[in-house]
Structure 1
């Protein structure tokens, strides 16, 4: 019996506990729904608060702008008062001017005869102006015709001017060429004159030397020492030349000699000194350089162009 009671008690307690748990679960679900609703309301409230904050900020900006405009209007208020006063003065002046014009129209209106006389005078002046205008138009047309004629003459004269300029350039070129040739001839003439003066001086020296030698010979005196030395040198050179020719002939006649076809190099020269006779002298060891004939490769080199001398 006691066991049955225990089982019954345990079953009843389990049933009550399950019923309570189900009730608590339902209450918890309701509470969760309320919590979700409260959170959603909070989020909506936050969003509305943000919107309201934006509106408040915008309204504050508008208030600041209005305050700034009010300050500006307060600053411009003295200017407005001055402008209003000036406007009143101008209105008074305008009314005075209107009254003055009305009074002048009433009091100073001329009678009809004077008006007719003034109209006739204006018509006469208008006719005079028209006549002057016609004269000016006639003069303008005449000047235009003359200008066109002068322009045509100038156009025709351009060709003559061009031909004259070309002819002038050709004449200038010819004058330059003639001047250059004349200068070249003058330079050549100067060289010839210098050479003639030199030859005349040499001739005078030779005549003087010849007169000296003749006078010494006429007096029975021997010629000067220089003449004797020159004569001995000439004899010595002739003897040396004869010996050289004889040696060459002997060498050529020898059976072992080699016949040379090369051009003979000069071994003597004629001095151009003023105080020496025009007698050939041997070069000795210091013979002058003789350039050889140009080879065929010189055809690849272009001759230099001689620039004309401009004066």
Structure 2
């Protein structure tokens, strides 16, 4: 096949194509038509570019609005949460106030009942006094209780005053606070040639034996044996 096509003497190696070539005027008209179509395509392309730019601008605005909306939504959500917290705190305070008000109302009702009872009791006591009868035992017990309370308060006041005096005495210079029994630290000489003034014992103070304790009950008394002469 290659040899047949490469042989220049072979007439059958070429094949003429049918048809005819257009004339120059036809080619010019064809070129003008193609140029017109090219211009139309360019116009459409420009319109498409303008439309694309406009859509891009609109999309950018929509995107910016969406971002602003996100920020606004976040801010609104934060404010909503803050308001919910405040409402919760106020609700708790209101519930506490309602509970306290209920307690105060119950206390007021109780006090009113006590006032009515006291008034009734006072009327009974007044009627007994008018009749020359002694007051009820409750009044006597109440009076004894009041006297006992006054006595206890008086003793407590005296104890506080005594404690304050002891603290004031303890604050004096040279004072030694102790619970031991006081012992003599000086003696009065019996010499006729000296004045009867207290004289300190010094290093050889008299010995004071301790009192027998409770453990002495464990020891028996010694048996006194008779002396045989």
What's the TM-score once normalised by structure 2's chain length? 0.39
**Higher RCO structure (Cα 8 Å, ≥6 apart):** 1
Greater fraction helix: 1
Query: Who wins on radius of gyration, i.e. which is larger?
Result: 1
